[in-house]
Structure 1
């Protein structure tokens, strides 16, 4: 099933290829890799990226005051970092990553949480782009700061107390997008020191089960 593309959710490589030189489109490489893959997203971006893409560093654009990884950054930090990427009000943002459909979705969610409406993920990401013979570049784009207003949506985040309550009361569905083996506690966690298993009463919907072999979504949702 294929539904119309939605510039606030998901766009195709064909859609983006037609808009590479559009001054109001901002392309972000949000690649990030789990420990153990031995890949450096910043170095890979420097060698090869979609033309005019800017590198969105998930490790940097997070709350580094926390001892937990990749917590939501303070609003002021998010605004400052994004402005320095030349992303501002009114831009159509397209996000991709080096695995096809992985970390780009997290950054899409972060922009939505910060109140930016026109942001989409590139369906199939960089692997599909390259497989189709579309152009790549090794030069960073010329970047000028742009103004961005942020309207943070507090409802997008639940703290540990709220999640624990939802686990007991069932007033929210808790979805675990990890692999079935990790969900069942049969596989080690990629980050050292994390316990195996899952939150009680959560449901397992492995994110890869929603994808085709080329890492595109099986269904376009609008």
Structure 2
């Protein structure tokens, strides 16, 4: 990646009226609060398109918000008015949560000009920038062609091969969940982690206001987790959402091909045939 995957609020404010820039409000309720209402109804960046992660997922999977087939994704993007060649800027209401997942989703679907708004809605609002509480003017359908980038997506078999070969798998869950000392928020999942995986809780990469930390601080966090950034890294978490924050942070540091394990612990920890370890990495 030749440029940063992040854009600033200043940059977006300057480009907001550009017809080639599409702003996307990423939405996914926190796993512990599934009934949380989207903030989009009350306030969003002018013209932003609402992107419901669960609604734009694989309807045939029993795992949460898995990547949809490319033809399904293409169809949904066309209806939203998102097309080939546009510059997509993704943000969320927490500062950094579901935006990274949606950024990764677009990249996995072959989009190269997609970015995350650093600091998201909290920073935009704190700076007194414009907001609206009405649906944007409907966009006409545009042609969108999704082409899956297999190098950015990991399934259970790939993760197992990486671990067996002594490769790097990095888990974004909390230290207690990784060690197996805390229950999983989703019922029916075992405690612990994949044998050989390392742990870097995603909040360690964020400032208090939701922005990603400086590149220097990000590098120190990956180094402290025992990650060799010159080698391949697969990221994982509970359900493939906060793993994308690790992948985004790695992209900031120039490591732009860190695949996300889409099924993550919801798949691995919900099976009887997957090995599980407990304790710290």
TM-score, normalization: structure 2? 0.73
User: Does structure 2 conserve the Cα–Cα contact (< 8 Å) formed by 1:34 and 1:190?
Assistant: no
**Which of 62, 71, 84 does residue 76 from structure 1 map onto?**
71
**Which of 28, 31, 35 does residue 27 from structure 2 map onto?**
31
Deviation at 1:98, TM superposition (A): 1.2
Give the distance between the partners of 1:27 and 1:166, measured in 2 at CA.
36
Superimposed CA distance per residue, residues 67-118 of structure 1 (whole angstroms, 9 cap, x where no aligned partner): 1111110011100111111111111000011111111101111111111110
Query: Which residues in structure 2 correspond to 1:202-221 (within 5 Å)?
Result: 202-220=197-215, 221=252
Aligned residues: 214
Deviation at 1:49, TM superposition (A): 0.6
Asked if 1:137 corresponds to 2:104, the answer is: no
Q: CA RMSD in A?
A: 1.6
Superimposed CA distance per residue, residues 143-191 of structure 1 (whole angstroms, 9 cap, x where no aligned partner): 2111112221112222212212222221x31010111122112222222
Give the distance between the partners of 2:67 and 2:75, measured in 1 at CA.
14
Give the distance between the partners of 1:17 and 1:195, measured in 2 at CA.
45
Asked if 1:16 corresponds to 2:12, the answer is: yes
SS in 2 for 1:174: strand
Query: Which residues in structure 2 correspond to 1:81-160 (within 5 Å)?
Result: 81-142=76-137, 143-160=139-156
Question: 2:268 corresponds to which residue?
Answer: none
Question: 1:62 corresponds to which residue?
Answer: 57
Deviation at 1:132, TM superposition (A): 1.4
Question: 2:37 corresponds to which residue?
Answer: 40
Give the distance between the partners of 1:192 and 1:131, measured in 2 at CA.
37
Superimposed CA distance per residue, residues 191-212 of structure 1 (whole angstroms, 9 cap, x where no aligned partner): 2222221111111111111111
Question: Which ranges in structure 1 are unaligned for 5 or more consecutive residues?
Answer: none
Asked if 1:185 corresponds to 2:180, the answer is: yes
Give the distance between the partners of 1:126 and 1:194, measured in 2 at CA.
33
Residues 76-85 or 193-202, more deviating: 193-202
Give the distance between the partners of 1:31 and 1:127, measured in 2 at CA.
14
Give the distance between the partners of 2:48 and 2:142, measured in 1 at CA.
15
Give the distance between the partners of 1:119 and 1:39, measured in 2 at CA.
27
Flag the structure with more relative contact order, 1 or 2, with Cα contacts below 8 A and sequence separation at least 6: 1
